[in-house]
A = this chain, B = another copy of it.
Amino acid sequence: MSRPDPALLSLNTATVRAQWKLDRIIAGCERYGIRGIAPWRDQVAELGLEETRRRIRGAGLTVTGLCRGGFVTAQGRPGLAAAIEENRRAIEEAAELSAQCLVLVVGGLPDGSRDIAGARALVEEGVAAILEDARQAGLPLAIEPLHPMYAADRACINTIAQANALCERLGDGIGIAVDVYHVWWDPELERGIAATPSRRLLGFHICDWLSPTADLLTDRGMMGDGVIDIRGIRGWMQAAGYRGFHEVEIFSANNWWKRDPDEVLRTCKARHAEVC
């Protein structure tokens, strides 16, 4: 694999959200020649949807995804209608920002439940209910399979094979965001990516798995500092027809969130070129 096109680097704003508000992150992307951005809904709400759109457009950035929809199962069946409404608002916002997709972290087990098969069925029902809204908005939904360590509390869709099967059943307008952090361990990863139609590959998220990992949520590594063969996985994505951005998303309470955000962005750029 050759080096990646630097123009394909995108920044998920979680990477520097501890240091900068959204307006400064947008300006930072522009300053460092980062061409894509994936903001979070709470940051967009704080800056204002219109103002966010204006600034992102002014900086010439592509919105590679809006984070995030999903959490369909959080309150179980009684909460499904509210979750669907919330997701419809997220679809509108994502469409307003001309996002390439709305990322769905689908939700884990309802409180007190031990029925993961039931949770998965509820996810399917909830996502099916918002899919027509997404299609009408011209806004693809991107299911992000999450690492199995989040199956209970964040997402009960945990492999690409599982996400693909769900997409097959749901039809057009929905695809997959592949985050190396969540899927790198999967013995079926290469086959799973190859089996995904290219139209369904909606995102490619990068960071690294540190070994050892100190925290389940906020100890992700900068690309190159961990054990993931990011360039190899990018090769599989490209072989499957993916031509989109490479979105850096690093939750790092004790390292990158404590550093000078300019240093973080410089490092993202350098590591993207070196190891991705």
Interface residues of A, Cβ cutoff 8 Å to B: 108-109, 113-116, 120, 147-149, 151-153, 156, 158-159, 161-162, 184-187, 209, 211-213, 216, 226-229, 232
Contact partner, A227, options B113, B147, B162, B213, Cβ 8 Å: B113
Q: With the chains together, A149 CA to B229 CA distance in Å? A: 16
Q: Is the CB of A149 within 8 A of B152?
A: no
Number of identical monomers bound together in the oligomeric complex: 2
Taking CB atoms, residues of chain B closer than 8 Å to A229 are 114-116
Q: With A and B bound together, what is the CA distance between A109 and B184 in angstroms?
A: 12
- Quote the shortest CB–CB distance from A256 to chain B (angstroms): 19
Q: Are A184 and B149 in contact (CB under 8 A)?
A: no
Closest to A114 in B: B229
A33 to B: closest C-beta gap in Å: 27
* Cα A158 to Cα B147 with chains together (Å): 12
Determine the chain B residues whose CB is within 8 A of the CB of A116 once the complex forms: 184-185, 227, 229
Contact of A149 among B108, B147, B227 (CB under 8 A): B147
Between-chain CB contacts (< 8 Å), 23 pairs = A108-B211, A109-B227, A114-B229, A116-B184, A116-B227, A120-B187, A147-B148, A148-B148, A148-B186, A152-B185, A152-B211, A152-B212, A152-B226, A152-B227, A153-B211, A153-B212, A158-B186, A158-B187, A159-B187, A161-B187, A212-B216, A213-B216, A216-B216
How many angstroms between the C-alpha atoms of A116 and B227 in the bound complex? 9
Select one of B115, B158, B213, B226 contacting A185, CB under 8 A.
Answer: B158
